[in-house]
Structure 1
């Protein structure tokens, strides 16, 4: 091949390569622009929803001055404008929505029943719901016969009255004077942990008198005799323990019985609830083929599975003992409701204790079972 021909071939190849490179660069540039736009959108609040109004921005600045220095200049009027609500200096000021959301988020991330229950926010002092406990019955009508009334559905009303709870973080005055400290975040963290711990205990054992009613405060009844208003239970088969393994006995059978004690329509979304000590015992149980019934999660942040259903650890559940109800299984989104009254209030006190400022947070909340069919419990007993 002549030199000129070789040069022409090389020029053609070079041109082809350059066109391909330009094409790749164009695609990369387009992709980079699209990625940048996605990042902008993901970090930008939705218009009209999360963008703070001028009144809210002004209230935020005034609220920060109240937290740090106790100044209340115009805070009442600003609160009315920003929150569209009435304020009461004696009852405290409403915290910023971001603080409220942080408190809720901490309660959820601390796990337990709060994380799997139906959590609602209301604007009244009581949550009421009608639950259908029995449906209508169909009947056949013979040709030419006159039809009549069928059985009417039956309903039960459940009501949850909200009650006031308070927590009181203390902060050194020197910390308040340092403008570089994010005081609001610190306060929300402390309040969130305290509300989560106090409420978490009530959600399991609270008696409902001036507080939440816990799942274990309702009268348990053998599942074969279940009636509305009670929680059905299955027995482990041994007092304060699972049954002892033998050629004909598998202790994990009690858990299988528990799964099928819950109606199939509730099993989609069902979750196990137990404390960590109980989980340590259950993890050792095996099926008849010597396979563990507990499956550890391989994905960070995802729960372990027990007989195919997620496990939620709640250390407010009781340890296994004679006659204890130490494991619950159910669709808690349908069966247990936690109600938060809109708005957390804050009262600042830098008078009663020298050198520190107390921040009294008040929330109105409560909880209770709202569908008794959707939750079952395991009793560690023979009957």
Structure 2
């Protein structure tokens, strides 16, 4: 954690130096020379690289904490009473152990994975090729972008059927009334949004040798891989899904967020347009609002200043705290389009008005026979989920000129 804080402070200082360089090199027309532009780009690249390294270290810290978490319940009973206060149902350690034993066990062996054949692992021609030489205890994985949508949205669980969500379509008003005057009627009108469930799934094939290697940590790998695949596909739909066989995203043409600003240029964003987007959102929603955009869009607006001469983008120097634009948190996602003609490049609003509905969690299945001829076992994970923006005015988007 000290390393992360050190890098955050280093990034903040590098950004201050970059801003100072840019301010001193601007001409009377507000532009800089090609040579100074190249130097600025290099300094900015260093700031971006530090930010990515901070993200990597923070994700590694979270993963280390998960893998180093205790696997057993603490002793909570008195010495004279050995009965422990444990979890029940599918949360019990017994259920978890039995589940993963079943996942590891090959077909025909029952639940006892200790049955071995008579082939020799020391002789290649008699079975040695079937046994991996050695597995490193640490699995090296490529890092992916962090999934942010579920952290910002409202997540609910549904049992069956569509979930009907009542929404106030319009609100009544009060009126000034003369003495002995009639109080006019002013009723609220209501509507409803229906959330269903779309099926999302993925499959992993694992060799029998890998399943029977006691060194390799199968459980966390499968869990993380399923979570990564399903999470990435979910987030893509929550942003750009069209509602056809998948959730309706906030950037969808129908059912998505309201248009806040259309830029004057097809490939550029100005300070005034960011400010217009900020104030296009009603004040009550701004209290919990965040910016979400592509990394390339952040780079494009990094040079912009507000009316007080402060740069819009401000780096965070506190661990776990996102960078900000106009004092509101900034998140990035690769599923938000980059700057291009007609693209919706920035979303700003209160994302708790986007509801994610899970239908009874995720389902895991083991396929023993399908890949038996290749010595592999398949694992399938499926999930039924839907997502919709319940109140379109709670999120505004900035769209590039067509």
Equivalent pairs counted in the alignment come to 289
2:148 to 112, 116, 120: 112
Shift of 1:71: 6.6
1:352 alignment partner in structure 2: 370
Does residue 363 of structure 2 align to residue 310 of structure 1? no
SS at 1:241 equivalent: coil
Q: How many angstroms apart in 1 are the aligned matches of 2:302 and 2:178?
A: 57
5+ residue gaps, structure 2, are 1-69, 78-84, 112-143
Shift of 1:232: 2.5
Q: How many angstroms apart in 2 are the aligned matches of 1:45 and 1:305?
A: 44
Q: How many angstroms apart in 2 are the aligned matches of 1:52 and 1:175?
A: 30
1:178 to 206, 213, 231: 213
1:252 alignment partner in structure 2: 271
Q: Deviation per CA, 1:30-72, whole angstroms, max 9, x where unpaired? A: xxxxxxxxxx9xx86999xx93237744432321222011579
Shift of 1:132: 0.9
SS at 2:378 equivalent: strand
Rate the CA distance shift 1:128–1:71 in 2: closer, same or farther, 3 A. farther
Rate the CA distance shift 1:322–1:63 in 2: closer, same or farther, 3 A. same
| Pairs within 5 Å for 1:169-248 | 169-219=204-254, 231-242=258-269
CA contact (8 A) 1:117 1:337 kept: yes
Q: How many angstroms apart in 2 are the aligned matches of 1:306 and 1:257?
A: 13
SS at 1:238 equivalent: coil
Q: How many angstroms apart in 1 are the aligned matches of 2:298 and 2:257?
A: 25
Does residue 382 of structure 2 align to residue 362 of structure 1? yes
Q: Deviation per CA, 1:287-316, whole angstroms, max 9, x where unpaired? A: 245431111001122110001110110110
| Pairs within 5 Å for 1:309-328 | 309-328=328-347
2:356 alignment partner in structure 1: 338
Rate the CA distance shift 1:239–1:364 in 2: closer, same or farther, 3 A. same
Rate the CA distance shift 1:239–1:54 in 2: closer, same or farther, 3 A. closer
Q: How many angstroms apart in 1 are the aligned matches of 2:387 and 2:302?
A: 30
Does residue 86 of structure 2 align to residue 51 of structure 1? yes
Which has the greater radius of gyration?
1
5+ residue gaps, structure 1, are 1-39, 76-107, 220-227, 243-250
The range that moved more, 152-161 or 259-268, is: 152-161
Rate the CA distance shift 1:46–1:309 in 2: closer, same or farther, 3 A. farther
CA contact (8 A) 1:163 1:366 kept: yes
Rate the CA distance shift 1:46–1:376 in 2: closer, same or farther, 3 A. farther
Does residue 312 of structure 2 align to residue 293 of structure 1? yes
Q: How many angstroms apart in 2 are the aligned matches of 1:380 and 1:268?
A: 26
SS at 1:337 equivalent: strand
SS at 2:361 equivalent: coil
Q: How many angstroms apart in 1 are the aligned matches of 2:76 and 2:274?
A: 46
CA contact (8 A) 2:203 2:381 kept: yes
2:282 alignment partner in structure 1: 263
Could you say what the CA RMSD is over the residues aligned between the two structures, in angstroms? 2.9
CA contact (8 A) 2:355 2:388 kept: yes
Q: How many angstroms apart in 2 are the aligned matches of 1:236 and 1:348?
A: 51
Rate the CA distance shift 1:352–1:233 in 2: closer, same or farther, 3 A. same
Greater relative CO (CA pairs within 8 A, separation 6+): 1
